[in-house]
Amino acid sequence: MDGIFNVLKPPGMTSHDVIGFLRRVLNTKKIGHGGTLDPDAAGVLPVFAGSATRLLSYAMEGRKQYIAEFTLGEKRDTGDDSGAVVKTMPVPAFTDTKLQDVLHSFLGKQMQLPPMYSAVKINGQKLYQLARKGVEIEREARPIEIYRLELLDFQPAKAKFTVAVECSKGTYIRVLGEDIAIALGTCGTMSFLLRTQVGSYLLNEAHSLQEIAENPEICCAQPITAVDHLPKLILTANQASRITNGVKTTVNGTADGQYALLGPANEFLGIGKCIDAKVQAEKIFQRFQIKID
């Protein structure tokens, strides 16, 4: 089956566990997910099957949204409450206005250090594999962007607060919470995480693994949903035929940039790039053939 499944990942399963389950259900080896979700976290996990796996890199470019709770006063080795406590600190008194100000300071582009408990690979080894052996190595900070950081709940007596986050790919919410805690003069850990959106895939449209197993066809989204963030370029029959067969073609009036290419009947053909009004295919899903009567 070729398509994309907006999976409602339950807590307690790794993203790899979800892939293994769906590989058996769909009877396919060609399958992957659009962004790891922590084992204790729940929420949206897009899974790509068959030829749709060719769109994984495009889908992972989309923004992500989360609801996260952080508990102040203790730091854990994993960055969430599944790990061992490695540090405790008193929590200074502060108002919700102070908290709002600190949150606001984290908006925008910044550099973030990936945690040891992550799937980032260095010299062929995943960091979490080293972390489980008690090994910590030097990592390089990576560019991220926080588009929205909204305070949803603040419980001073319990030293907890909950936020809604909208961020770029590569953002670790656990690390964001630890950095916010430092800015508040203490330490902290993530105590809850729900991913509510990945690109065009929303929590209220996600399907449980049981629903997918019972009726995968109904739960399967079309490949074009992975590139909803790209502008659409509708081609004539002649343009579609030339571009999908590898010929750079002039499409007058088209601005420079990347596009989802559509045929004359709005069928999804693939991804193309336009430079100086000339469109060239980057990734083609179906070749357009002009019918000759």
Residues involved in catalysis:
38
Rounded Cα distance, 241 and 288, in Å: 5
Rounded Cα distance, 55 and 224, in Å: 9
- Return the structure tokens found at 85: 């406590």
Rounded Cα distance, 153 and 162, in Å: 5
Rounded Cα distance, 211 and 280, in Å: 39
Sign of CA dihedral 51, 54, 56, 61: negative
Return the SS3 of 20: helix
Angstrom CA distances, 54 to 33, 88, 226, 266, stand at 11, 45, 10, 20
With DSSP H G I counted as helix, E B as strand and the rest as coil, what are the percentages for the chain, rounded to 5? 25, 35, 35
Rounded Cα distance, 53 and 47, in Å: 8
Residues 6+ positions from 239 with CB-CB distance below 8 Å: 249, 251, 279
